[in-house]
């Protein structure tokens, strides 16, 4: 049996029937072993309104939400999302606090860049208080081709230390996300898990940790479980997405059952963000996402 056939048969055996994933079925509320967090829009065919989407997520057993675009939402909508999460006993996951993909930012000593970082982080603290978030994503901008790499690294560390001073009183944790340079984000400063680990160790502050995006790190360097193990003390947040395609687990090459088992066995109590698209359209595609996570959550 080839791998594709094996995965298909395994999913069929372990997944819940479509009927059991309806809003009215109590079995759909069964808790997952890990705290997976869908994003708004993932289940829009079942629930067009964002508040109904949160309810749908809760009804399927999800206990967290992540929303990268939260800073672009109105204060009224942020407060509404927080109230709906509280109503269902759900956590708020990450939102993006700072991520400039087109310019050198954290790897710079220019005052304008330092001022912009300060502005973004002060705003992030206020948003986090409003929506009840503990984590925010930071992507430290592009690398500078005109400056030695170690000088850039020292500047990134200095800028992160200043950002930590802004975050520390509120308890907000910046999670640094290394992004793959081969398929999605060439030219960025932060690319690898070991690099991010070294920077977090150098910053040496509880407000600066790693967002380990399994999709990106599979592309950049692979060796996922070993790298997770090496980085463990600095990881505060995970995100998932299969490769190739960046769709739900079981659609690509990553053995998410084993990866999730390892994270669970290490005692991870944080959030695993579902930062990926749906492989199939419509309601059936949304149900396929839920079945995929049920399948990969069936470990001992």
163 pLDDT exceeds 50? Answer: yes
**pLDDT category of residue 300 using cuts at 50, 70 and 90:** confident
118 within a domain of the structure (yes/no): yes
Question: Is the pLDDT assigned to residue 28 strictly greater than 70?
Answer: no
Does pTM surpass 0.85? yes
Write the burial class of residue 182 (CB in 10 Å: 0-12 exposed, 13-18 middle, 19+ buried).
Answer: exposed
Bigger pLDDT: 8 or 164? 164
Q: How far apart are CA 205 and CA 141, in angstroms?
A: 20
Number of compact structural domains in the chain: 1
Within-domain flag for 28: no
Q: Is residue 228 part of a domain?
A: yes
Per-residue pLDDT, 31 = 87
Give the C-alpha distances (Å, rounded to integers) separating 14 from 18, 186, 257, 274, 291: 12, 38, 12, 20, 8
What local confidence, expressed as pLDDT, does residue 5 receive? 43
Neighbours of 28 (CB within 10 A): 19
What CATH code is carried by the domain that includes residue 228?
3.20.20.150
For residues 185 and 24, the model is more confident at 185
Confidence of residue 10 (pLDDT cuts 50, 70, 90): very low
Q: For a pLDDT cut of 70, what percent of the chain falls above it?
A: 90
Instruction: State the pLDDT confidence band at 29, using cuts at 50, 70 and 90.
Output: low
The answer to the question of residue 189 being in a domain is yes
Domain that holds residue 149: 33-296
């Amino acid at each position: 049996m080839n791998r594709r056939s094996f995965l298909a048969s395994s999913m069929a055996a372990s997944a819940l029937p479509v009927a059991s994933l309806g809003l009215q079925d109590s079995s759909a509320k069964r808790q997952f072993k890990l705290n997976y967090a869908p994003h708004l829009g993932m289940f829009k065919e079942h629930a067009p309104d964002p508040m109904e989407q949160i309810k749908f997520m809760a009804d399927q057993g999800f206990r967290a939400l992540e929303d990268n675009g939260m800073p672009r939402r109105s204060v009224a909508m942020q407060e509404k999302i927080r109230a709906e999460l509280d109503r269902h006993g759900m956590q708020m996951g990450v939102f993006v606090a700072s991520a400039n993909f087109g310019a050198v930012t954290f790897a710079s000593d220019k005052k304008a860049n330092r001022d912009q970082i300060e502005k973004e982080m002060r705003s992030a603290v206020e948003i986090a208080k409003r929506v009840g978030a503990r984590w925010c994503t930071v992507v430290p901008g592009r690398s500078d081709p005109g400056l030695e790499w170690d000088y850039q690294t020292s500047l990134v560390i200095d800028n992160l230390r200043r950002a930590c001073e802004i975050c520390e009183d509120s308890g907000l944790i910046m999670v640094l996300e290394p992004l793959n340079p081969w398929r999605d984000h060439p030219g960025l400063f932060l690319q690898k898990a070991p690099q991010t680990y070294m920077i977090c160790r150098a910053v040496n502050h509880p407000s600066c940790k790693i967002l380990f995006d399994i999709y990106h790190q599979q592309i950049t360097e692979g060796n996922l479980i070993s790298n997770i193990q090496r980085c463990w003390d600095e990881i505060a947040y995970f995100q998932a997405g299969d490769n190739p395609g960046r769709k739900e687990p079981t659609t690509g090459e990553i053995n998410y059952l084993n990866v999730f088992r390892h994270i669970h066995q290490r005692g991870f109590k944080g959030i695993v963000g579902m930062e990926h698209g749906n492989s199939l359209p419509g309601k059936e595609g949304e149900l396929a996402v839920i079945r995929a996570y049920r399948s990969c959550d069936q470990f001992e």
